[in-house]
Amino acid sequence: MSKITLLSLMLVTLSLHVAAETAATSDTQWLSYNGTVNGQRFSELTQINRSNASQLGEICRVKVDEGGAFQTGILQIDGVLYFTSESDTLAVDATNCAVRWRHHYVIEEPGGTPFQVNRGVASANGKLFRGTSDGRLLAIDMITGKTVWKFQIGDPSQGEFFSAAPQIYEGLVIIGAAGGDWGIRGRVMAFDTETGREIWRFYTVPRGDEPGADSWKNAPSARYGGGGTWTTYTLDMSAGELFVSVGNPTPDFMPAHRPGANLYTNSMVVLNAATGKLKWYHQLVSNDGRDLDLGAAPMLYFNSKGDRIVAFGGKDGYLYGVNRETHKLVYKTAVTTVTPPTRIPHTQSIHSCPGVVGGVEWNGPAFDRTHNAVVVGTVDWCNTLTTAASFEYKPGVFNFGGSFKLDEKRSGWIVSVDGDTGAPRWKFATQTPQVAGVTPTAGGVIFTGDVAGNFYALDAQTGKPLYQKATGGSLAGGVITYMRNNKQYVALTTGNVSRITFGAIGSPTLALYALGADNAVPRVAAAAAVADGPLKTPDPAHGAEVFGRICAACHGGRAEGAVGPALVGLAKRLDMAATIQWIKNPSAKMPKLYPAQLDAQAVSDVAAYLQGR
């Protein structure tokens, strides 16, 4: 070989090495709820890897609120993190936690809202899009944080709210109504991103001459049949297909009231993304009587054979893989405790696993491309279900058609399965339920967390922890990773307080981690107690706002009861003083929010609100 040829080869090798280094250190984005619209959550980054993940540490954090549900996904676009609380949208610097702007939405509905929770935004053409708990859709300028347009697209008096992070497809912003347990008629809608004009809608509970309407043998029950959507949606851009996860039918525990398959509840529905027309579907459970929603976004991938697979996990405790071309089931793998399907005897009770807050919740499976593995977090929590003697639909409140009692024992799993067969590879047990986002990387690390407040970096091959830190609050939202200025970051949300938590009670907070950071950064195990000032006259209106933000997740948006007991008519059992003491010193089944999240004035205001219910 000549010297010139050898030199040329050396130069080519050097240029390829430089190009690889440049690619490895280039700034990256996290453009959608699950990173990309296919839902995989996989990152090609390797700076944080199996050999050094133990050197992670916290860089900074920003407190978002005093308390409440905090289940938002996170976007990272051009060095700015975008995320939501139940009412606010924030833009935060992706390297130092500095707040760029904060958009505050004031609830406009005079009658209140069914449920105050939001799971994030979508981005397109310089705008962010999000739903609200009082049935609105907002477009917000990404630079200024100002409202561009706002439209009412749902009716909160009927139990409709919009918790899902929207999805974007060719000039359309797509979002569906949540509120199935309240007895809404579910639907998914697409709006023009520039004008907010509705372009199409698809009803997840068909009626009349719509395909699938004959699966509701008691036709009037379809009017309040449920079928809400909780979180975000998935796109196959090449096929123009939208993948939607549809929740349970209503009344939840009385399937005899609505005989038939009850399409398209408990189903993965595939729509034409441009028109909203149904293409195909896969129903997990027909005529469900145990609240076994499909709540998390499906995930699209190619297995090792090149087959096009969609994976999705349900509250029934299974992870499913379906061939997207043949529509045939490829695998169905139990990823939590599952008891045999059982019909609920009329006005009697059954013990059921998973329970109504078990299985796979609002953050679904991810794809570890390096190992051809599907990874999913789950909740292992059983319950006892009882049907009611009779049912009468009441708009705007829970329409369970019965009741449930959660077991004392609860835990969670992070499970990795073979992407071809669904055979389990490893399981990592978490002390408490696991509902946070799961993010695999090319560095052989999987980032996630649990409701006990632990942030994990797991070995993607074995599931063993490489790093574990207490964050001071429950993790129930996004956990993402990205590169900025040659440094790989992990951003996460902590401090969720909702029906599935109480493992760690903190305040909603965004935190950043990276290699070589100072592990001595305070992680505040709980929000700092606020000194009680002189009490003012109790304000029931403010109490209603606090109750909706912090308490409604367990006790219902209008105190009608849910996971926690109904509080309507509380004044007949407890006077004002006793109510205050009950809030300050609750039973072990309730979170202790005073004096951290609630000061004495807030407690007094909430008590005044409850005394008037």
Res. 22: pLDDT tops 60: no
**What is the structure's pLDDT at 377?**
98
- How many residues appear in the chain? 613
Boundary-marking domain end, from 475, 490, 519: 519
Dihedral sign for Cα atoms in the order 463, 77, 245, 388: positive
**What is the structure's pLDDT at 562?**
66
| Structure tokens that stand for 345 in this block | 């005897």
pLDDT digit string, tens, across residues 79-123: 999 999 999 999 999 999 999 999 999 988 877 788 889 999 999
Sheet-wide strand order for 187-192:
167-169, 172-176, 187-192, 198-203
One domain, residues 441 and 501: yes
Boundary-marking domain end, from 467, 489, 519: 519
Boundary-marking domain end, from 519, 554, 585: 519
Mean pLDDT of 220-235: 97
Mean pLDDT of 130-140: 97
Q: What is the mean pLDDT of the chain?
A: 90
Q: For residue 493, which amino acid is it?
A: T
Res. 345: pLDDT tops 90: no
Range of the domain at 586: 540-611
13 pLDDT tier (thresholds 50, 70, 90): very low
One domain, residues 439 and 515: yes
Select the more confidently predicted residue: 548 or 266: 266
Residue 573 inside a domain? The answer is yes
Res. 610: pLDDT tops 50: yes
One domain, residues 550 and 501: no
Q: Cβ(162)–Cβ(125) under 8 Å?
A: no
**What is the structure's pLDDT at 111?**
72
**What is the structure's pLDDT at 48?**
98
Q: Cβ(164)–Cβ(232) under 8 Å?
A: yes
Dihedral sign for Cα atoms in the order 156, 162, 168, 169: negative
538 pLDDT tier (thresholds 50, 70, 90): confident
Among 151-155, 398-402, 467-471, 557-561, which is the least confidently predicted range? 557-561
Residue 561 inside a domain? The answer is yes
Among 128-137, 172-181, 309-318, 585-594, which is the least confidently predicted range? 585-594
CATH number of the domain within which 546 lies: 1.10.760.10
Res. 1: pLDDT tops 60: no
Mean pLDDT of 556-572: 74
Residues 6+ apart with CB under 8 A from 505: 473, 474, 497, 526, 591, 592, 593, 596, 597
Q: What is the rounded distance in angstroms from the CA atom of residue 542 to the CA atom of residue 605?
A: 6
19 pLDDT tier (thresholds 50, 70, 90): very low
**What is the structure's pLDDT at 503?**
60
Res. 495: pLDDT tops 70: yes
Residue 481 inside a domain? The answer is yes
Q: What is the rounded distance in angstroms from the CA atom of residue 178 to the CA atom of residue 185?
A: 9
**What is the structure's pLDDT at 11?**
43
pLDDT digit string, tens, across residues 188-207: 999 999 999 999 999 999 99
Res. 20: pLDDT tops 60: no
Residue 260 inside a domain? The answer is no
